[in-house]
Structure 1
Amino acid sequence: MKLGILLTTGPENENTGTVIAISRAARDKGHEVSIFLMYDGVYNIHKKEFSELVDRGVNITLCALNATQRNISKTEGILFGSQYDNACIVNEVDRFISFG
């Protein structure tokens, strides 16, 4: 199964922990996971847990416009994309959940 996740809230929100836990559990079961970060969700790339998700094979993309607006610099393993990338994730996955 392919799972897509949209996260729009910052690291201080409980949604971040939920997304991390769901992503870990899905990868442990062999599912593909793609996360798209936008709005304040782009701040999550500075969390250690998100780089660990990348190491576990989770695809993480963020909205480059939102990152630029918030002075977020590029991070290895995370794609700086656009809403087109978000639409591609939605189109390619079996299930899509949104946290905002």
Structure 2
Amino acid sequence: MKILLFITSVPFAKDYNTIRNLTKYLCESGHEVTIFLSGNGVYYLLRPDAEELKNFGARVMFCSHAAHQRGVKEFPEWAESSSTYSLSQMMKDFDKTICFN
């Protein structure tokens, strides 16, 4: 199953552990997981341990416009720069979407 985790909440909220554990479980269960960071979710790019989401097997993408608006200037190698427009074009490819706001 192709699953999208759409994240707009800050990575320092209680959602982080939920997202971490859910990503690990879904990837270990053989699901294809994509994480899209937008809004305040782009602050995940600044959290050093957020790379583990990619290491679990998830594809991590972020809205470059949202990052620019929030002053995030350096992007880690483990995350792909994208846009919400690109996300809108990919939405049809996912079986399930889970939003964290």
Whether TM-score is above 0.5 comes out as yes
Deviation for aligned residue 1:48? 3.5
In the comparison of the two structures, how many residue pairs are matched?
100
- State whether residues 62 and 79 of structure 1, in contact with CA within 8 Å, keep that contact through their aligned partners in structure 2: yes
Q: Which SS does the other structure have where 1:74 is aligned?
A: coil
Structure 1 stretches of 4+ moved >6 Å: none
SS of equivalent to 1:40? helix
Is 1:27 aligned with 2:27?
yes
**Contact kept in structure 2, 1:34 and 1:89, CA below 8 Å:** no
Question: Structure 1 length normalisation: TM-score?
Answer: 0.90
SS at match of 2:15: helix
TM-score between the two structures when normalised by the length of structure 2 = 0.89
Aligned counterparts of 1:16 and 1:85: Cα–Cα separation in 2: 24
* Identity value in percent: 28
| Alignment gaps of 5+ in structure 2 | none
Residue 10 of structure 1 aligns with an amino acid whose one-letter code is V
Task: Give the equivalent residue in structure 2 for 1:86.
Answer: 87
User: Aligned letter for 2:17?
Assistant: G
